[in-house]
């Protein structure tokens, strides 16, 4: 991941290759729990270097879809493929613990942080996946282990500072307000240097000011790293302001897909989700 998020305004996104292959391709994904079908044969593509929102009412199947992609669930049917610089990967052949090695990072609706550790240590733990020194080298504090530890601490500080968390770096996570804790979880995901970030309701619990700041942060993150963002979000102002593409689910099924402008004007979406003609834009 390139040096990033130094507090400068978001850079303009470079033009995307219209002929580029999808980073993530989902086809006919079906997930049921007993007699309840949570995802009904849903498929869509996520293009590289984009912000792709997955929206829909509560119970639409959005989080279930993310759980399938991140391999917490195994769908009964369908195809899920990730195309990276190392080749095409069949996600159905991967275990949950292998997903991060493919370049997929995930945040959750409910915070998954070490509340008794500092912000810095939470992010540093995520960075440990990049270390190559052995247990013996760590125990004996050999040169390679010391060098790697120094490098990872420097990289951790860059990530913390990039998300404007520097003032909280040595604060215990439990002592932070909820909105700041959400940023810590985002920092942990960034620490994995992913090609695809799965963000499950990153703005949940935030006030309008925090949501606006999060939108700026996500735009800077995407522009600086080139990572692809697939996010579930109920804040329509946030979705409409940062998304390149929006996929809408309803009652577990695919409903529509398009640009924010197309989705905002889609009668089926307005009826099912946006609220009988109310614009998703903040007034």
7: pLDDT strictly greater than 50: no
More confident residue, 234 or 225: 234
17: pLDDT strictly greater than 50: yes
Residue pair 16/47 in contact by the 8 Å Cβ criterion: yes
Q: What is the pLDDT of residue 15?
A: 43
Q: What is the pLDDT of residue 281?
A: 40
Helix (H, G, I), strand (E, B) or coil at 1: coil
- What is the pLDDT confidence band of residue 223, given thresholds at 50, 70 and 90? confident
Region(s) of the chain under CATH 3.40.50.300 = 21-103+194-275
118: pLDDT strictly greater than 90: yes
Helix then strand then coil, % of the chain, to nearest 5 = 40, 25, 35
8: pLDDT strictly greater than 60: no
Return mean pLDDT, the chain. 85
Q: Give the residue ranges of DSSP H helices in the chain.
A: 62-69, 119-127, 135-140, 143-162, 178-191, 208-225, 236-242, 260-264, 267-269
pLDDT in tens, 203-212: 988 889 989 9
Name 258's bridge partners.
Answer: 246
Q: What is the pLDDT of residue 137?
A: 58
- What is the pLDDT confidence band of residue 273, given thresholds at 50, 70 and 90? low
Best mean pLDDT range from 3-17, 80-94, 126-140, 144-158: 80-94
pLDDT in tens, 162-190: 888 999 999 999 999 988 998 999 999 88
Q: What is the pLDDT of residue 2?
A: 40
Q: What is the pLDDT of residue 109?
A: 78
- Per-residue b/e over 165-178, b at no fewer than 16 CB within 10 Å? beebeeeebeebee
In the sheet that holds 87-90, the strands lie side by side as 36-46, 24-33, 77-84, 87-90
Residue pair 26/78 in contact by the 8 Å Cβ criterion: yes
Q: What is the pLDDT of residue 46?
A: 97
Pairing type for strands 245-250 and 51-55 reads parallel
| Cα 100 to Cα 127: distance, rounded to the nearest angstrom | 12
- Per-residue b/e over 22-49, b at no fewer than 16 CB within 10 Å? bbbbbeebbbeeeeebbbbebebbbbbb
- What is the pLDDT confidence band of residue 131, given thresholds at 50, 70 and 90? low
Radius of gyration from C-alpha coordinates of the chain: 19
More confident residue, 122 or 132: 122
278: pLDDT strictly greater than 50: no
| Cα 236 to Cα 222: distance, rounded to the nearest angstrom | 19
Give the CATH H-level superfamily of domain 21-103+194-275. Answer: P-loop containing nucleotide triphosphate hydrolases (3.40.50.300)
Name 87's bridge partners.
Answer: 84
pLDDT in tens, 62-88: 999 999 999 999 999 999 999 998 899
Name 256's bridge partners.
Answer: 248
| Cα 154 to Cα 144: distance, rounded to the nearest angstrom | 15
């Amino acid at each position: 991941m390139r040096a990033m998020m130094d507090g400068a305004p978001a850079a303009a996104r470079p033009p995307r290759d219209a002929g580029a292959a999808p980073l993530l391709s989902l086809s006919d994904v079906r997930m049921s729990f007993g007699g309840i079908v949570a995802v009904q044969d849903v498929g869509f593509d996520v293009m590289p270097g984009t912000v792709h929102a997955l929206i829909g009412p509560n119970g639409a199947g959005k989080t279930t879809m993310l759980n399938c992609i991140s391999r917490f669930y195994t769908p009964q049917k369908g195809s899920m493929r990730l195309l990276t610089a190392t080749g095409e990967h069949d996600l159905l052949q991967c275990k949950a613990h292998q997903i991060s090695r493919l370049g997929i990072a995930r945040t959750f609706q409910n915070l998954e942080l070490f509340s008794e550790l500092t912000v810095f240590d939470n992010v540093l733990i995520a960075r440990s996946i990049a270390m190559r020194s052995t247990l013996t080298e760590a125990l004996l504090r050999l040169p390679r282990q010391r060098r790697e530890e120094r490098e990872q601490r420097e990289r951790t500080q860059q990530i913390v500072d990039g998300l404007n968390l520097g003032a909280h770096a040595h604060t215990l996570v439990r002592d932070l307000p909820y909105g700041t804790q959400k940023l810590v979880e985002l920092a942990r995901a960034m620490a994995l240097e992913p090609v695809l970030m799965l963000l499950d309701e990153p703005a949940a619990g935030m006030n309008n000011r925090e949501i606006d700041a999060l939108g700026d942060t996500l735009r800077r993150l995407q522009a600086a790293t080139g990572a692809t963002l697939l996010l579930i979000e109920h804040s329509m102002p946030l979705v409409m302001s940062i998304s390149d593409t929006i996929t809408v689910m309803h009652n577990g099924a695919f409903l529509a897909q398009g640009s924010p402008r197309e989705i905002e004007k889609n009668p089926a979406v307005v009826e099912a989700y946006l609220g009988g003609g109310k614009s998703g834009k903040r007034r």
